[in-house]
Structure 1
Amino acid sequence: MAGFTVHLDENAGPASTHALVIGVGAYTHLQGGASPTAHPGAVGMRQLTSPPLSARRFATWMIDKYHDAGRPLGSLALLLGEEVPGPFVHPRTGAEHAVAAATIDNIVAAVLEWKDRGDHDQARLVFYFCGHGVSLGFDTSLLASDMFADLNSPMNGALHFEGLKRGLNSCRAGQQVFFVDACRAGSDALGRTVGGASLGRVPVDGNEMFRPEGFVPREHAVLYATLHGEETFGRAGEASLFTSALLQSVDGAASENTEGHVWRVTTGTLTHAIGHFMKEPAFAGTLTNAAVPVNSESFDFVFHELPGDPIVPVYIGCLPQTDNALAEFVCRHPGQDDRRRPPPAAGDEPDLTEWSLFLPFGQYEVEAVLGPGDVRRDGLDARPPLFHLRLARP
């Protein structure tokens, strides 16, 4: 395959989706890397395990499950910074593809290839980044795997995200979607040493205020994992919280059925659903409310169509919450095996959390059995974005 692509549809027409996916966890010149720098701007930055896993999961979803009949997936380019590099296994063909390193030169080259492939009025561009990010002033810079290779100008190892977004106004693609799963907190150490004159590399020049004559208007959506000035959160050895919420959302929680029989995910419903997951203790655990996803200056348009009915997050518990540790929960639906969560065995830690389920769209009957004289029953309608059911004492 050409360049950095791990998926390429040779028959893709102008009305196609083209994705660029970047996940950087191994940083050569940060603490714990192969050649750590003594540059004062690198203080506090370390190696990450979540971004390469997150990027692989997002790339797999895009190839295997992303669906838009009007703009099918035409290509996907993947760049990773991994401690132990490995091939990407195409989820449909099983073919193994070498993955390019997420150095700044490779990222710039991949951006240019991606922009050229999507330089059509009917095209959709999808950009995904997971890794270290910093804010210098009001702009965000995304750090490549070789950040700090240039000690005289460390920001040469970063991608200036706002510059990229502005520059892509000079690309004909009428729809552009950006997922930024990175910190947007300011770095005092970096700010003091490099100032704000350079915010990173800008592969494509453009003016966000003026679309070139003859281009269709641009609809763009930017989904940040967190507010400006805040950190985002990875989970060691797992996909990040934001990416996990994103992938659960496109499975159904972010879908709506407002026309015909098709469930559609829009950029607006996607932001709403991700926010629900990030605030849900049964999903986010100790990271509940730790980060607030933001959809900044974005248009609301259809991003994905489900092939069937949605899968809906459902949370079932008791009132008071302490009864969760005593209850056997049962969920029933005609034609399906009963779903159960037994109470903790003798000697186990009491489980006060709600029962977290992902149920196909439909109606269900639920029981919480706490004893012969305390059986609580209710029905629920599993439909997006989610459903909470709390069963009180009789």
Structure 2
Amino acid sequence: MGLVFESAAVQQDPQAAATHVLLVGCGEYPSLAAAGFGGLDPLSAPRLSVEALADWFLSGPDAMPAGQALPSDHAFYNPEAPLGSLVMLTSPTFPYQAPSGTVTNPTRPTVACIRTAYAQWLDRLGANPNSRGVFHFCGHGVSNGISQFLVADDFGEDPHDPWSGVFHVSNTCQATIRKTAANLFFLVDACMELSEELINQIDDPKALIGGKRTGQPITTEWAVLRATTANRLAYAPTGGVAHFTAALLQALRGHCGSQRAAAPGFGVGIAELREAVAAFLALTQQTESGERQKLGQTEGEGDWNVSMHILATRPSVLVEMDVQPEGYRPVARAFMEDAAQQREVKPLANGPAQFVKQQGEWSYGTNASNNEYAEQLYTRQFLTKAVHSCRFRIT
């Protein structure tokens, strides 16, 4: 159901160590108005967000023809757990063309289809502790003030039980960690806005799968990375990828990772992703007014350094520089230089300047093209974060 990619290795050995991905994007919600839930509206971002993440996973060496894969700072790469399968459920259900050129028709994400796809995802993960499971949801989410619930595309279609189209995130995770030994990554791009309608229901929505509270967890390496904090909204630009997923993709494209102790490359796990995604989320919204989206509490167990992705080269830092007051921008320049004092210069006339440099020691600063103000310079700074912002105060 909704299968976009399955590797030859997994077809030959379904229990081989692999990364299995389940992407769910709910956007149409055709029965919201009829069900009388005015607080929720159709969304354009979920399908775009899911497709963007699918493109990243499918542009790596596991899913592309030989010689056509993008490098690890642009696409998925994990030789310890290569891409084994990718399943996509989206609404609207337009055909999806993968980077390889293959065209598939995603399944509509009704709650029944999500449950079926989720059970199949668990079957693929099986009992291999070296496999990785990635579940990404983008769509409506609501909260009872404590727990988050995600809304399937057919919400409201059952007039006798409209809330049957909603499922409980934490309970789904608790049931899942008792059914697979794989390392699990839950990426939830949805609101956690308080819903009085949900609170007033006689029964809470259920998990996607059943399970006992007393069951012994099989895996202790799992985490939920949420797009927003309790009782708050998640945002998306009109006609674009949702802010959280966009920040996640920026982080994955070479901007985070920790040096691995016994193998080459830099591991990208939840610990690295959370810090980098938070930084890009803040950078995206720095010029926006009103409430700003911040990452929610990360739920899970383990030390969160299991690699979902492996970066083959040293991570990069996005350095953004500007001057204050902004009236100096027409003559202002920003620059960065390496240890050999080779300097790259960019004008600030059109706003902040951005540089992408490998993590390490850099000098950076600002000066004026007409010498209107004295040069300001930070010498030999060690830059290791995904984002580094600097605003030079001109006096």
Please, what TM-score do these two structures have when normalized by structure 2? 0.83
Q: What is residue 219 of structure 1 aligned with on the other side? A: 221
| 2:55 equivalent among 55, 60, 67 | 60
Shift of 1:10: 2.5
In structure 2, relative to structure 1, the CA distance for the partners of 1:10 and 1:286 (3 Å cut) is farther
AA at the equivalent of 1:358 = V
Q: Does 1:267 align with 2:270?
A: yes
AA at the equivalent of 1:49 = S
Q: Does 1:166 align with 2:161?
A: no
* Structure 1: distance between partners of 2:151 and 2:16: 31
Partner SS state of residue 57, structure 2: helix
In structure 2, relative to structure 1, the CA distance for the partners of 1:198 and 1:288 (3 Å cut) is closer
* Structure 2: distance between partners of 1:284 and 1:251: 23
Partner SS state of residue 101, structure 1: coil
Unaligned runs of 5+ in 2: 60-74
AA at the equivalent of 1:205 = G
Q: What does 1:177-196 align with in structure 2 at a 5 Å threshold?
A: 177-192=185-200, 195-196=201-202
Q: Deviations over 1:296-337 (max 9, x none)?
A: 234312222102232321111225555345423345668999
* Structure 1: distance between partners of 2:274 and 2:119: 28
* Structure 2: distance between partners of 1:284 and 1:293: 21
Q: What is residue 348 of structure 1 aligned with on the other side? A: none
* Structure 2: distance between partners of 1:283 and 1:63: 31
AA at the equivalent of 1:384 = K
In structure 2, relative to structure 1, the CA distance for the partners of 1:337 and 1:370 (3 Å cut) is closer
Q: What does 1:102-181 align with in structure 2 at a 5 Å threshold?
A: 102-122=109-129, 123-136=131-144, 138-181=146-189
Q: Does 1:81 align with 2:91?
A: yes
* Structure 1: distance between partners of 2:250 and 2:189: 15
In structure 2, relative to structure 1, the CA distance for the partners of 1:50 and 1:95 (3 Å cut) is same
Q: What is residue 64 of structure 2 aligned with on the other side? A: none
Q: Deviations over 1:224-276 (max 9, x none)?
A: 11122222112211111111111111223332226365222121121122222
Q: Does 1:301 align with 2:308?
A: no
Unaligned runs of 5+ in 1: 31-35, 345-350
Partner SS state of residue 289, structure 1: coil
| 2:42 equivalent among 43, 47, 67 | 47
AA at the equivalent of 2:78 = D
Q: Deviations over 1:11-69 (max 9, x none)?
A: 13521111100111111112xxxxx31x34x1221111111111111111122222222
Q: What is residue 16 of structure 1 aligned with on the other side? A: 18
Shift of 1:111: 0.7
AA at the equivalent of 1:125 = G
Q: What is residue 257 of structure 1 aligned with on the other side? A: 259
Q: Does 1:276 align with 2:279?
A: yes
* Structure 1: distance between partners of 2:197 and 2:164: 17
* Structure 1: distance between partners of 2:366 and 2:176: 54
Q: Deviations over 1:85-116 (max 9, x none)?
A: 4222222x211111111112211111111111
* Structure 2: distance between partners of 1:372 and 1:75: 57
Q: Deviations over 1:110-162 (max 9, x none)?
A: 11111111112222211100100111353222111111001111111122222
AA at the equivalent of 1:301 = N
Q: What does 1:202-217 align with in structure 2 at a 5 Å threshold?
A: 202-207=207-212, 209-211=214-216, 215=218, 217=219
AA at the equivalent of 1:144 = A
Task: Give the total of aligned pairs.
Answer: 368
Q: Check the 8 A contact 1:15/1:120 in 2, yes or no.
A: no
In structure 2, relative to structure 1, the CA distance for the partners of 1:128 and 1:283 (3 Å cut) is farther
* Structure 2: distance between partners of 1:158 and 1:165: 15
Q: What is residue 68 of structure 2 aligned with on the other side? A: none
Q: Check the 8 A contact 1:52/1:81 in 2, yes or no.
A: yes
Please, what TM-score do these two structures have when normalized by structure 1? 0.83
Q: What is residue 203 of structure 2 aligned with on the other side? A: 197
Q: Check the 8 A contact 1:381/1:387 in 2, yes or no.
A: no
Q: What is residue 99 of structure 1 aligned with on the other side? A: 106
- Worse overlay, 295-304 or 127-136: 295-304
Q: Does 1:386 align with 2:387?
A: yes
Q: Does 1:312 align with 2:317?
A: yes
* Structure 2: distance between partners of 1:75 and 1:4: 11
Shift of 1:342: 4.9
Runs of 4+ in 1 over 6 A off after TM superposition: 333-337
AA at the equivalent of 2:318 = P
In structure 2, relative to structure 1, the CA distance for the partners of 1:268 and 1:204 (3 Å cut) is same
Q: Check the 8 A contact 2:45/2:240 in 1, yes or no.
A: yes
- Worse overlay, 330-339 or 232-241: 330-339
Q: Check the 8 A contact 1:231/1:291 in 2, yes or no.
A: no
* Structure 1: distance between partners of 2:364 and 2:214: 54
Q: What is residue 233 of structure 1 aligned with on the other side? A: 235
| 1:359 equivalent among 328, 332, 357 | 357
Structure 1 vs Structure 2: percent identity of aligned residues?
24
